[in-house]
Structure 1
Amino acid sequence: MKKNVFIILLAFSFVSCNSQTKDAKIKKAVIDKIDKEITKKSETKNDTMDFKIVKTDAEWKAQLTPEEYTVLREKGTERPYTGEYDKHFEKGMYVCAACENPLFTSDTKFDSHCGWPSFDEAIKGSTVYHKDTSFGMIRTEVMCAKCGGHLGHVFDDGPKETTGQRYCTNSVSIKFLPAK
Structure 2
Amino acid sequence: MKKLFLFTVLATFLMSCNGNAQKTSKKSSKDYEVSKTESEWKEELTSEEFDVLRKAATERPFSSELNDIKKPGTFVCAACGNELYKTEHKFMSGTGWPSFDRPIEGGVAYGSDSKLGYQRDEVHCARCGGHLGHVFNDGPKETTGKRHCINGIAMDFNPENE
Q: What band does the TM-score fall into relative to the shorter chain? A: 0.7 to 0.9
Q: How much has 1:138 moved relative to structure 2?
A: 1.2
Contact 2:26-2:112 within 8 A present in 1 as well: no
Across the aligned residues of Structure 1 and Structure 2, the Cα RMSD in angstroms comes to: 1.7
Match of 2:146 among 156, 160, 165: 165
Alignment size in residue pairs: 137
Distance 1:48 1:66, change over 3 A: closer
Q: What is aligned with 1:32? A: none
Q: Distance in 2 between matches of 1:151 and 1:48?
A: 13
The equivalent residue for 1:100 is 81
Structure 1 stretches of 4+ with a deviation exceeding 3 A read: none
What is the Cα deviation at residue 68 of structure 1?
Answer: 0.3
Give ranges in structure 2 of 5+ residues lacking alignment: 1-19
Secondary structure at the residue paired with 1:61? helix
1:137 shift after superposition: 2.2
TM-score by length of 2: 0.81
The separation in 2 between residues aligned to 1:150 and 1:131, in whole angstroms, is 11
- How far apart are 1:48 and its partner, in Å? 6.0
Query: Does the CA contact (< 8 Å) of 2:121 and 2:136 recur in 1?
Result: yes
Structure 1 residue 123 and structure 2 residue 104: aligned? yes
CA–CA distance in structure 2, aligned partners of residues 48 and 74 of structure 1? 13
In 2, Cα distance between equivalents of 1:48 and 1:131 = 8
Tell me by how many angstroms 1:136 deviates.
1.0
TM-score by length of 1: 0.73
Query: For 1:141-161, what per-residue CA distance to the aligned partner results, in whole angstroms no more than 9, with x for missing partners?
Result: 000000000000000100000
Aligned residue among 122, 125, 132 for 1:144: 125
Cα distance, 1:89 vs structure 2: 1.2
More helix by proportion, 1 or 2?
1
> Gaps spanning 5+ residues in structure 1: where?
1-34
- Secondary structure at the aligned position of 1:58 is classed as helix
Q: Which residue of 1 aligns with 2:55?
A: 74
1:16-54 CA-partner distances (Å, limit 9, x unpaired): xxxxxxxxxxxxxxxxxxx9xxx9xx9xxxx66221111
Aligned positions of 1:44-55 closer than 5 A = 49=27, 50-55=31-36
Identical-residue share of aligned pairs (%)? 49
Larger Rg: 2
Could you tell me which amino acid in structure 2 is paired with residue 126 of structure 1? G
